[in-house]
Amino acid sequence: MYILGVSAFYHDSAACLLKDGEIIAAAQEERFTRKKHDAAFPAQAVAYCIAQAGIRPDAIDHVVFYEKPFLKFERLLETYLAFAPRGFRSFSAAMPLWIKEKLFQKTMLVKDLSEVLDDQVDWKSRLLFSEHHLSHAASAFYPSPFDSAAVLTLDGVGEWTTTSVAVGQGRDLKVIKDIQFPHSLGLLYSAFTYYTGFKVNSGEYKVMGLAPYGEPKYAELIKDKLIHVAEDGSFQLDMSYFDYATGLTMTNRKFADLFGGPARQSESELTQREMDLAASVQQVTEEVVVKLARGIARETGEKNLCLAGGVALNCVANGILLREGIFDNIWIQPAAGDAGGALGAALCAWHLHHEHDRPSPAGRDGMKGAYLGPVYSDEDIEAALTRCGATFHKLDEQSLIDRVATALAEEKAVGWMQGRMEFGPRALGGRSIIADPRSPVMQKQLNLKVKYRESFRPFAPSVLREHVGDWFEHDADSPYMLLVADVQSDKRRQMTDEENALFGIEKLNVPRSSVPAITHVDYSARIQTVHQDTNPRYHAVISGFHEKTGCPLVVNTSFNVRGEPIVCTPEDAFRCFMGTELDVLAVGNFLLLKDQQDEALKENYEDRYELD
């Protein structure tokens, strides 16, 4: 039985295909259309899934949408009613959209499926709908390595729910309680994202990255005024400070008065105040997540915890949760945002609608390393690079690995496109930019000359699983880069008194360890453990670098520039290579060196994508 999961029409649309419950393909639409967070029906992602499976569209037994539009409409109406007459401007913006389009999502989906796949199939009879947070919970539990687990989902908002607790056992998954809109930890974080001058729905990572530069000066104020947190972690927001329920912004004047000024203008200079605000909201988020986890552990008695929803991408909070030891094991869905809803919706249909048993995972997760996207053969790559006018060398696997490891040791920045593309927001060695973490200038160089993004943003390490405990205060799997831990103390550099006295962004220029490019200002790092069985080629190149340098880790950042979706095809990779100061590109068995390329193929890439 084939089940296609679809998420669409809000942000990060995606498709996922299951064959008899096994995940065989999944991809986000943005990677194909090259529009970041593309919300359109995922036509190309759906077409990719079908092609990957090698089936005809009529072989699909069900298409499952990741949420229920009527429930969302009900929430909108009841919210407008509750706040009336406030909110008319928002109402007048939202209603025409719903009346023209969103109320007709079932019809739209049937039409899109007919256009993209096959107009002779009765898609209406094959269409199912799951609930938003049930989709998240399913995406967290069913692919997890646990037979039974508690499941916590946290995001901005689905239909009504913003936070849910579920228990998964075998094929059963039951939501046991939830917190509903407008009380939302995700939206509280987004409110601060907006207030500190970043884009909601994409700038949350930046707030998390900015937090270690600041002091949590406002944390008590946030807990006093904005959020009431109960002992079990359930919470309530004081909505008089927020505008998102009925307005067109996240926060209002009362919020600005509380924090002593208006929201920061986007792209204006970052000050210590924004850093302190980021540190404060991060600390409050961590406290709430830890309290919630304690409450869930008490209530369910489960030893394992699964996480999904946008807030589960807050890897700093995840790291703290792990270290608190509330649960024996934690597993986080790598596509924790709405894209992962497509996967969860399909899994709901398989296990809950069709009641198919779930075989014991025997301690292994079902995500296949999240390498679920398109792959290109050497013939495809050669043809694409030739079309682009590239100068390239075709090598055997071992020579390619040696050349790349040598380039890394020479502090070259390498574009690394190998195998299947990752599903989810993280690049995990399929579509990555990799570099030497020992270089004290690498972080700044990569941010400013390759990624064209803010200089304060940290980079993450990909470390050989066998060596993770030697380099980090963490000795467990973290294949999806969703856990943060500190660099081992013997790898840290002692700070002088002068260096310790530095504040805010000044801290950035002080190397803090023997791998400064991946050590954040608080000595933390967002770890990806690399495993021989899920990504042998990536494992081999890091091993090669290790042999040459004694360092079993590399810098790993997504293969894109600021505002651009991660590259998907060899053409995307070549364009990004030529538009940035990357030195080397390795695509499949092909190696490209920047100084051998035709100068005329260079393009101005920096301004090509809208800033995120």
Catalytic amino acids? 11
Q: Are 138 and 172 in contact (CB under 8 A)?
A: no
Question: Distance between CA 502 and CA 94 in Å, rounded?
Answer: 47
Residues 6+ apart with CB under 8 A from 111: none
Query: Side chain identity at 356, as an amino acid letter?
Result: H
> Given candidates 1, 53, 61, 98, which one binds other proteins under the rule CB under 8 A?
98
Give min distance, CB of 175 to other proteins, in A.
16
- The interface region with other proteins, picked from 89-97, 166-174, 330-338, 513-521 by CB under 8 A, is 89-97
The Cα 239–Cα 247 span in angstroms is 12
Query: If binding is defined by CB under 8 A, does position 99 make contact with other proteins?
Result: yes
Chain centroid to Cα 23, Å, comes to 19
Is the CB of 81 or the CB of 176 nearer to other proteins? Answer: 81
Exactly one of 78, 101, 267, 328 binds other proteins (CB under 8 A); that residue is 78
Residue 92 engages other proteins in binding (rule: CB under 8 A): yes
- Cα separation, 192 vs 195, whole angstroms: 5
Contacts of residue 24, Cβ cutoff 8 Å, sequence gap at least 6: 17, 18, 49, 52, 53, 372
127 binds other proteins (CB under 8 A): no
Looking at 39, 40, 47, 95, which residue binds other proteins (CB under 8 A)?
95
Using the minimum distance from each CB to other proteins, give the nearer residue, 127 or 290.
127
96 binds other proteins (CB under 8 A): yes
Burial of 175 from C-beta contacts in 10 A (0-12 / 13-18 / 19+): middle
Does 70 participate in binding other proteins (rule CB under 8 A)?
Answer: yes
* Beta carbon nearer to other proteins, 41 or 80: 80
Smallest gap from Cβ 449 to other proteins, in A, equals: 46
Residue 6 in contact with residue 24, Cβ under 8 Å?
Answer: no
Q: Which is nearer to other proteins, 82 or 375 (CB)?
A: 82
CB of 3 to other proteins, least distance (A): 22
Pick one of 39, 61, 104, 205: the residue that binds other proteins (CB under 8 A): 104
CA atoms within 13 A on the CB side of 579: 21
Compute the least distance from the CB of residue 390 to other proteins, in Å: 48
Beta bridge pairs of residue 593: 584
Closest CB 20 distance from other proteins, rounded Å: 31
How many residues at the interface with other proteins, by CB under 8 A? Answer: 17
Q: Per CB under 8 A, does 82 bind other proteins?
A: no
Q: Does 128 bind other proteins (CB under 8 A)?
A: no
CB 292 within 8 A of CB 163: yes
CB of 92 to other proteins, least distance (A): 5
Q: Which is nearer to other proteins, 100 or 362 (CB)?
A: 100
Which part of the chain contacts other proteins (CB under 8 A), choosing from 38-46, 98-106, 366-374, 584-592? 98-106
Give 421's DSSP letter.
P
Residue 579 near residue 603, CB atoms below 8 Å = yes
Query: Applying CB under 8 A, does 325 fall inside the site for other proteins?
Result: no
Q: How far apart are CA 172 and CA 542, in angstroms?
A: 40
Spatial separation of the C-alpha atoms in residues 527 and 459, rounded to whole Å = 10
- 81, 230, 375, 448: residue in contact with other proteins (rule CB under 8 A): 81
The tokens describing 279, both together, are 């540190």
- The answer to whether 107 contacts other proteins (rule: CB under 8 A) is yes
DSSP 213: G
| 211 touches 316 (CB < 8 A) | yes
Q: Please, what is the minimum distance in Å from the beta carbon of residue 91 to other proteins?
A: 8
Give the interface segment with other proteins, choosing from 80-88, 166-174, 330-338, 417-425 (CB under 8 A): 80-88
Distance in Å, CB of 242 to other proteins, minimum = 23
Cα separation of 29 and 266, whole Å?
27
Residue in the structure block whose two tokens are 């990799």? 434
Nearer residue to other proteins within complex by CB, 107 or 399: 107
The candidate with the shortest Cα–Cα distance to 453, out of 270, 249, 192, 265, is 270
Q: Which is nearer to other proteins, 83 or 609 (CB)?
A: 83
Spatial contact of 177 and 164, defined as CB atoms under 8 Å apart: yes
**Min separation Cβ 74 and other proteins, Å:** 7
Q: How far is the CB of 81 from other proteins (least distance, A)?
A: 7
DSSP label at 562? T
Which among 16-24, 101-109, 340-348, 573-581 is the span making contact with other proteins, rule CB under 8 A? 101-109
Contact status: 503 vs other proteins (CB under 8 A): no
Token reading at 491: 């790898």
Q: Which helix (H) or strand (E) holds 292?
A: helix 272-300
Q: Which stretch binds other proteins (CB under 8 A): 99-107, 178-186, 467-475, 588-596?
A: 99-107
Residue 100 as a binder of other proteins (CB under 8 A): the answer is: yes
Q: Could you say whether residue 353 binds other proteins (CB under 8 A)?
A: no
Residue 137 tokens read as: 């919970």
| Contact range with other proteins by CB under 8 A, out of 21-29, 71-79, 489-497, 596-604 | 71-79
Among 48, 65, 66, 80, binds other proteins (CB under 8 A): 80
Which C-beta is closer to other proteins: that of 130 or that of 314?
A: 130
Structure tokens at 283: 């600390």
Nearer to other proteins, 101 or 606 (CB): 101
| Cβ contacts of 116 within 8 Å, gap of 6 or more | 41, 43, 46, 47
Among candidate residues 502, 522, 504, 503, the one with its CA nearest the CA of residue 512: 522
Map residues 284-313 to x or -, x wherever contact with other proteins holds by CB under 8 A: ------------------------------
Give the span between the Cα atoms of 304 and 363, in whole angstroms. Answer: 12
Q: Where are the alpha helices (DSSP H) in 142-271?
A: 185-195, 204-210, 219-221, 253-258
Please say which residue, 110 or 208, places its beta carbon nearer to other proteins: 110
The answer to whether 101 contacts other proteins (rule: CB under 8 A) is no
Q: Which is nearer to other proteins, 104 or 609 (CB)?
A: 104
Counting Cα atoms < 13 Å in the Cβ hemisphere of 584 gives 21
Instruction: Give the interface with other proteins as residue ranges (CB under 8 A).
Output: 70, 74, 77-78, 80-81, 88, 92, 95-96, 98-100, 103-104, 106-107
